[in-house]
Structure 1
Amino acid sequence: MSVSEIVAQLGQRLKQARLNADLTQEDIAAMTGLSRKVIIRAEKGKANLETLVAILIALGLEKQLDLFIPALPPSPVQMAKRKAAKRQRASGKRVVKPDTSSPW
Structure 2
Amino acid sequence: MDLDHLTANAIAGELGNRIKTARLNANLTQKALAKKAGISLKAVTNGEKGKSTLESMIAILIALEMTEQLNSFIPKQQISPIQLIKLQGKKRKRATSSAKNNNQTKDTSKW
TM-score by structure 2 length?
0.72
Tell me which residue corresponds to 1:17: 22
Tell me which residue corresponds to 2:57: 52
Gap regions ≥5 residues in structure 1: 88-104
Partners of 1:83 and 1:5 in 2: how far apart? 39
Structure 1 residue 4 corresponds to structure 2 residue 9: yes
Partners of 1:29 and 1:76 in 2: how far apart? 44
**What is the alpha-carbon root mean square deviation over aligned residues?**
1.9
Q: Which has the larger radius of gyration?
A: 1
> Residues 86 and 9 (structure 1 numbering): CA distance in 2 closer, same or farther, change over 3 Å?
closer
Give the deviation of 1:75 after TM superposition: 3.4
1:35 to 31, 40, 54: 40
Q: Secondary structure at the match of 2:19?
A: helix
Once the two structures are superposed, residues 36-92 of structure 1 have per-residue CA deviations (whole angstroms, 9 ceiling, x without a partner) of: 1110011000011111111001000000000100001113443122443579xxxxx
Give the deviation of 1:26 after TM superposition: 0.7
Gap regions ≥5 residues in structure 2: 1-5, 93-111
Partners of 1:69 and 1:60 in 2: how far apart? 17
Q: Return structure 1 stretches of 4+ with deviation > 6 angstroms.
A: none
Paired positions, count: 88
Q: Secondary structure at the match of 2:18?
A: helix
Partners of 1:77 and 1:28 in 2: how far apart? 46
